[in-house]
Chains A and B, each alone.
Chain A
Amino acid sequence: MVDLKVNIGKLMCKNPVSTASGCFGYGHEYDDFLDVNRLGAVFVKGTTGSNREGNPYPRMAETPSGMLNSVGLQNKGVDYFVNEIYPQIKDYQSHIIVNVSGSTIEEYVEVTEKLNVLDKIPAIELNISCPNVKEGGMVFGTHCPSAIHVTREVRKAWDKSLIVKLSPNVTSISEFAKAVEGEGADSISLINTLLGMAIDARTRKPVLATVTGGLSGPAIKPVALRMVWQAYHAVKIPIIGMGGIMNATDAIEFILAGATAIQIGTANFIDPAVSIKVLEGIEKYCDEQGVTNVNELVGALES
């Protein structure tokens, strides 16, 4: 038996496999495909202070080994989450983690305070890295003083586990990792999508209505691995790694680079049961490699 339990800061997870925000709905969209209860955690869609309709159509472009999206945080707002969605999903045996998003520091704090009263939300993931909203979002994640400021204010409003989700659209990921660690983040998750663009040469138009969007999928994996590895060497808090994970081998690479846990995003769209396959694959790898506790692999990259 392999011990798969991991601690993401204060948060104990039964295994390192979780699903990424914006890619797994609220969990129940996947009930037909897998037993959601087996996941370490489910990161639900970015939640803002009030209803947001998101960006205009088209919002998606397929790109080589990946996709661009410009969904723009479409969600019904935190009150709707608390009153309508939470009662439906609170009984999952996996941790439900809310991705907290906003345009202003006040909005981030407001969402956080409203979630604070929910027993079954043991952690929030502070999304300071959404590339698809005009104000806020990534601005907080790409300007270090802003990242510090928002983490500080949210930290005051939240005493359970605080995960800060970093943007890859920066020169030095270590700088941001250290900065939010300094403000009391319990862990960091990375990477969010990379800012990208697709053009239709025939029509000479951008494919996305918003022109630019967030790139995800295997195309970003090398960048994500590099950033996880750099962050691992910069901070002491645990890291949740993601970006292009399609199978167990990809997940193990992230763990070797320094991730304590991983999230799977875009891959769910192609194989909605992929997360369970990754979980089983990690267990099998450990068995084959004589690893009895998955934590032995964290940052175990040999040079």
Chain B
Amino acid sequence: MKKFVRDFELIANKRINREYYLLVLKSPERLPEMLPGQFVEIRIDNSKDTFLRRPISLYDVDMDKQLVYLLIQEVGKGTRKLAGLKAGNSLNLIYPLGNSYSLPEEKAKVLLVGGGVGVAPFPLLAKFLKQNNVEPEFLLGFRNKELLVDLADFEKYGKVFLSTDDGSAGEAGTVMDHSVLKASSFPYVKVYTCGPQVMMKAVSKFAEELQLDCEASLENTMACGFGACLCCIQETVRGNLRVCKEGPVFNTKDLIW
């Protein structure tokens, strides 16, 4: 897929909660095809204490309106800088980067399990699944109800099961404690996961025990984001692969983690 570097105009910067915000960016031209699981590399301008770009997943894409949506958690210098941007500011992106999630072999129900800002790739993934006659449902975990995302962005595609560490919304505990995973029947043919590595590993193990296909979207420290530096490797059964190029989405049976 051809990659582009363009200046986007920030249309809106919406606070989602204390830590998360949503950037809505307008492309100067028709967007190329953008797949679920892919990401962009954002240049952080006027920022003395950052140097490299920051990788952020596609949360949603509106081809007609030429808009890209990014859900970002403030964790450090770069994401803090981006949080302060206002409508009208311009932002330089490299896109679309990385591979993408793949469809299940059987057109049936699938479960998308996400934790925290790891839910970011799911709206676009769910849209893509729906378009291909696959039924997504979600199991989303957050620390507490103050840190929820806008669930309507997910509910429009399928049922959302919720868990919070403190039980302030949905069931108490981690996603792994949720009744959906404890029930006697598991009506899904494939599991997709994104979030903290410990969660993804647990989800992957769960899927493996049921002999279900599982795809996980990994993070890594990236310098370039487009396959040139070999800084972002993940150990796999096919050797060290680049998370930014052969990933970020991996079938969990290929991972050595």
Contacts and interface: CB of A to CB of B under 8 A. Distances in A.
A64 B77 CA distance: 12
B230 A22 contact: yes
A269 B224 contact: yes
Given A32-B2, A62-B50, A74 B221 contact: no
Q: Interface size bucket, B side? A: 20 to 34
Contact of A268 (B224, B232, B239): B224
B223 A266 contact: yes
A54 B232 CA distance: 11
A268 B228 contact: yes
B52 A269 contact: yes
A71 B50 contact: no
Given A57-B234, A62-B52, A270-B51, A71 B5 contact: no
A69 B226 contact: no
A53 B51 contact: no
A299 interface: no
A122 interface: no
A74 B223 contact: no
A54 B52 contact: no
A230 to B, nearest CB: 27
B186 interface: no
Interface residues of A, number: 34
A25 B231 contact: no
Contacts of B234: 57
Nearest to A26: B228
B227 A25 contact: yes
Closest A-B pairs by Cβ, 8 of them: A60-B231, A269-B224, A25-B228, A32-B3, A60-B221, A29-B228, A269-B223, A71-B230
24 contacts: A23-B228, A29-B227, A29-B228, A32-B4, A54-B240, A56-B235, A57-B233, A58-B221, A59-B231, A60-B223, A62-B50, A62-B51, A63-B51, A65-B51, A67-B52, A74-B230, A74-B233, A74-B240, A266-B223, A269-B223, A269-B228, A271-B43, A272-B94, A272-B226
